[in-house]
């Protein structure tokens, strides 16, 4: 299985790119799209309107940071928190056993948390700029 270990940088790159595109695509309409509809939804689940813009900024810019591999651990942690709040406030209405209700944000949260704990990998701006001393 040593050959898989050699592919770890590529795996982390693909994980970053995949999650980054999804988060960018999700955050963009919160900031530049029909935010009125999203503000109404946030209000219906008990969240203040300004959180639409906070979540949108975290998702849009966090997605960009993941794609670039810059400040990956911080971006991953913030995105994990956003997805945890989304699961808690928007997707848990039918209970914890209704996994199909929250599977998508859960997968995003777990992927973002994996990047927060593992880092961006060797093919990233983090590695280029903040060379590991270990």
- Per-residue pLDDT tens digits for 26-38: 999 999 998 899 9
Mean pLDDT calculated for residue range 59-66:
98
Q: What is the rounded distance in angstroms from the CA atom of residue 39 to the CA atom of residue 1?
A: 49
**Taking 70 as the threshold, does the pLDDT of residue 132 lie above it?**
no
Confidence check: pLDDT of 134 > 60:
no
Q: How many domains does the chain have?
A: 1
Average pLDDT rounded to a whole number, residues 53-60: 98
Q: Which helix (H) or strand (E) holds 67?
A: helix 50-68
Structure tokens at 28: 């963009």
Its domain, for residue 54, covers 9-129
pLDDT value for 58: 98
1 within a domain of the structure (yes/no): no
Could you tell me how far CA 80 lies from the centroid of its own chain? 6
Distances (CA, A) of 75 to 45, 60, 127, 134: 25, 11, 15, 22
**Quick check: is 59 in a domain?**
yes
> pLDDT by residue (tens digit) across 67-120?
999 999 999 999 999 999 999 999 888 888 888 899 999 999 999 999 999 999
* Nearest CA among 42, 67, 44 for reference residue 53: 42
């Amino acid at each position: 299985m040593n050959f898989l270990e050699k592919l770890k940088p590529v795996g982390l790159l693909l994980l970053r790119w995949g999650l980054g595109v999804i988060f960018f695509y999700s955050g963009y309409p919160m900031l530049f799209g029909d935010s009125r509809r999203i503000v109404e939804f946030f209000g219906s689940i008990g969240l203040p309107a300004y959180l639409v813009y906070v979540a949108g900024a975290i998702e849009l810019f966090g997605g960009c940071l993941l794609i670039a591999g810059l400040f990956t651990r911080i971006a991953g942690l913030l995105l994990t928190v956003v997805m945890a709040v989304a699961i808690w406030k928007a997707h848990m209405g039918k209970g914890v056993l209704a996994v199909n209700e929250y599977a998508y944000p859960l997968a995003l949260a777990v992927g973002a948390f994996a990047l927060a704990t593992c880092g961006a990998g060797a093919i990233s701006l983090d590695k280029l700029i903040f060379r590991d001393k270990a």
